[in-house]
Amino acid sequence: MIIEGKINYKIVKNILISLIIIISFFTQTIYIKAEENKVIKVGYPIVEGFIEINDGVYSGYAYEYLCEIAKYTGWEYEFIEMSFNDSIIALKDGKIDLAAGMMKNEQTMEIYDFPEEDIGATYTTLCALKDNQEISQSDYETLNGIRVGYYETSKVKLENFKKFYESNNIENIELVPYPYEEGVSLVDKLKSKEVDAIIDGDLLLNNEEKVIAKFGAIPYYLATTKGNTEIVSDLNNAIFKIKEKNPSFDQNLYEQYFNSNNDHSFTLTEEEKEYIKNTKQLKAIYIQDYNPLQYYDSNTKKAKGVFIDMINLVSKKSGLKFNFIAVKTYEEAYNMLKNKKADLIVGVPSVNSTANEKGIKLTASYLDLDMVKVFRKGEVKKEGKLTVGLPAGYGYANLDSDDKIIFYDNIEECIKALNEEKVDMVYGNHYTITHYTTGGYYPNLSIISEEITAPASVGFSKSVDKNLFSIFNKIIYSIPYNEIEDIVYKNTMNINHKLTLKQFFFENTILCTIIILIVLTAISIIIYIIVKLRFDKIKKSKDVLFRKTQTDCLTGIYNREACKTEINKYLDTKDLSLYGVFIIIDIDYFKQVNDNLGHKIGDDVLIEFSKLLEQSFRDEDIVCRMGGDEFIVFMKDITESNLDKIDEKLGNLCTLMNKEVTYNGKRQKISISIGAVALKKDIDFEKLYQIADEMLYKTKSNGKNGFSIKKI
């Protein structure tokens, strides 16, 4: 294998190919493939938000989910409009193949077949009228003594509500039952002020209601006729792949179709505003070794993580200022809070028993953490009493009370203890566990997902000022899901995975010994390839996630923040002998497109225009969507002699976009208005935007469909 001191790469290559062939015999790639052109009959009962049809166009949560499944199964659907009761009878008799929104329990499983995975969950809700200012979703004390209406037949929802108000110490609730059969409208009872709130379901809300609380999740499924194993198998594979590829798919659909009535604004009282005005800075405690949730970044010398960004978001929305203080353990954090050396803890488990024990008060939760258990391989099913490694002071529900607990300073030490066989299991959140197991490279450990989540809240002392506590709750309730998701993405894509050759050898001794006996030289090349592939994959994942934060999700071009960053970066190093051209573009009559032709056509106009901009300008120019129908283009390094060509380019653009958009026989004229600045001198982004905006206003004042450019 070694000839004249050099590695014979041809032989090594043959060994690698042989190993790949051997491995391929022991692995099986799963392909989801259904019979081509297979038509699936689907019962289609119209339920607002869930299953809809307007002017022959299908939409809704269940419809979107079925379309996503079809990408993996190859199915075609025949939708049959019928009532929900008719659909479950037709499904039982085999007249249709699928029905959506089915509950899976002992009774229904005797009649129908279900896949293993659900397609979402329905919640019981407590709702009030939107203009009811006396009941607040951020302050459950306002629920004491209210009258709550419900249907007599809604026994499960009623039980869910009772558990909710008992667990939140809400008192003197007056329950008012109404007969469902008589067609009583609970919303009408709200309007007449016969009751203050009603027990409802999240899939049945209307625009007059606001959600005070949501609880009692019940998963729902797609169901098929009993014995239809082929459809069940295809559903299992497809739904698993959907959730593996995009864990947030269900939540994003839910936000799209059922959270439209959520009010993400918040209103502060005069007393709360005065509190913010008179508060200089609050001391916020974080645990320094809980990457990526909360940690101290030795490179930037700053606090970082999901929890830190959440507090910074509170600061941005409220005007409160925070000084972050690092501690090693939760016990240390609780003691500092108790001794009034700090004002709050950025992230604590929303477990009431732990909060009472530690003497802290919890805000509403702002993030649900998926929980996992970690075992050594081969010991996952170990029975009997376990020794569990936990970080000191962090309380978890759903642990076996018979297990022996050994506390360590942080999750990383717990994982090391498990790897060294000092404990049998480690329990914690998915983000932190994944970070340290991947970062430390522990191939002998197995991560098992739990079907539960642990909410995280901000922790205060029991004596916290009521205004501060109320401000936090109001802001937490106002934060939309996608904003939290962006924070999580930003922090989890920056995980620094470490892998050393020493770790690989020591943790894979048997494997390495066998390989060494086969061929000593091949082992170093194999390790090199494994390491390179691992880091390439991680780098690729990071690049993909980073690009998501820079691009507009609809058009694929730069978003507002990325645009501003790129333009400022250019302005900082701009050659003052050359011009840059800052261009703002508005699509005229875009609102009428949405109103008359629909938002889908409006989206198509935005996508088409963004492609036109990319084609019309150079690769080095910056093209972005600022939001709505407003776009920005920044042209770099334009010489004096080429300035006249800018007028020609903008004129051509106006000509191309001066047209009509048609859909279903309806027509809407559109055009574009442009304001531009040709600059040579040193100037910042904000000033450029202001001047270009003035030019845009000038264009619109002159009747739109044109451009105005100013040279500075």
Query: Helix (H, G, I), strand (E, B), or coil: what is residue 538?
Result: helix
> Does 35 have pLDDT greater than 50?
no
CB count in 10 Å sphere of residue 342: 21
Q: pLDDT tens for residues 219-254?
A: 889 999 999 999 999 999 999 989 888 877 887 788
Q: What average pLDDT does the segment 373-387 reach?
A: 77
Q: pLDDT tens for residues 271-307?
A: 999 999 999 999 999 999 898 999 999 889 999 999 9
Phi and psi for 516 in degrees, rounded to 5?
-65, -40
> Does 674 have pLDDT greater than 90?
yes
Q: What average pLDDT does the segment 546-567 reach?
A: 86
pLDDT of residue 381: 56
Q: Are strands 6-7 and 294-297 parallel, antiparallel or unpaired?
A: unpaired
**Which helix or strand (DSSP H or E) is residue 148 part of?**
strand 147-151
> Does 541 have pLDDT greater than 80?
no
Pull the structure tokens for residue 321: 């200022």
Report percent pLDDT > 90 for the chain: 49
Q: pLDDT tens for residues 114-132?
A: 999 999 888 899 999 988 8
pLDDT of residue 352: 77
> Does 384 have pLDDT greater than 70?
no
Q: Which string of b and e fits 126-163 if b means at least 16 CB within 10 Å?
A: bbbbeebeebbbbebebbeebebbbbeebeebbebbee
**Which helix or strand (DSSP H or E) is residue 437 part of?**
helix 430-440
Contact 650, 676 (CB under 8 A): yes
- 9: pLDDT confidence band, cut at 50, 70 and 90? very low
- Asked which of 142-146, 310-314, 351-355, 539-543 is least confident by mean pLDDT, the reply is 539-543
Query: Helix (H, G, I), strand (E, B), or coil: what is residue 500?
Result: coil
pLDDT of residue 7: 44
- 21: pLDDT confidence band, cut at 50, 70 and 90? very low
Contact 98, 42 (CB under 8 A): yes
Q: pLDDT tens for residues 491-513?
A: 887 555 444 555 555 555 676 67
Cα–Cα distance, 495 to 487 (Å, whole number) = 14
Q: pLDDT tens for residues 418-465?
A: 999 999 999 888 888 888 887 666 778 888 877 677 889 999 999 999
CB-based burial of residue 534 (10 Å sphere; 0-12 exposed, 13-18 middle, 19+ buried)? middle
- Asked which of 26-40, 344-358, 462-476 is least confident by mean pLDDT, the reply is 26-40
- Asked which of 69-73, 79-83, 176-180, 209-213 is least confident by mean pLDDT, the reply is 209-213
Cα–Cα distance, 422 to 82 (Å, whole number) = 60
Contact 583, 626 (CB under 8 A): no
Mean pLDDT of all residues belonging to the chain: 85
Contact 161, 125 (CB under 8 A): no
Cα–Cα distance, 259 to 154 (Å, whole number) = 22
Q: Pinpoint the alpha helices (H) of 551-630.
A: 560-572, 590-597, 599-616
pLDDT of residue 284: 97
Q: Pinpoint the alpha helices (H) of 292-329.
A: 306-318
Q: What average pLDDT does the segment 146-157 reach?
A: 91
In angstroms, the first-to-last Cα distance of the chain is 70
Dihedral sign, Cα of residue 64, residue 68, residue 70, residue 73: negative
> Does 551 have pLDDT greater than 60?
yes
Q: What average pLDDT does the segment 243-268 reach?
A: 74
pLDDT of residue 506: 52
Report percent pLDDT > 70 for the chain: 86
- 398: pLDDT confidence band, cut at 50, 70 and 90? low
Kindly list the strands in the beta sheet with 294-297, ordered across the sheet, starting from the edge strand earlier in the chain: 289-290, 294-297, 302-304
Pull the structure tokens for residue 330: 């939760």
CB count in 10 Å sphere of residue 390: 21
Cα 108 vs. chain centroid, distance in angstroms?
32
The better pLDDT of the pair 456, 395 is held by 456
> Does 20 have pLDDT greater than 50?
no
Cα–Cα distance, 248 to 366 (Å, whole number) = 16
pLDDT of residue 245: 81
pLDDT of residue 155: 87
- 547: pLDDT confidence band, cut at 50, 70 and 90? low
The better pLDDT of the pair 47, 100 is held by 100
> Does 316 have pLDDT greater than 60?
yes
Q: pLDDT tens for residues 182-232?
A: 778 899 999 999 999 999 887 767 778 888 888 888 888 999 999 999 999
> Does 542 have pLDDT greater than 60?
no
Cα–Cα distance, 411 to 396 (Å, whole number) = 13
pLDDT of residue 493: 72
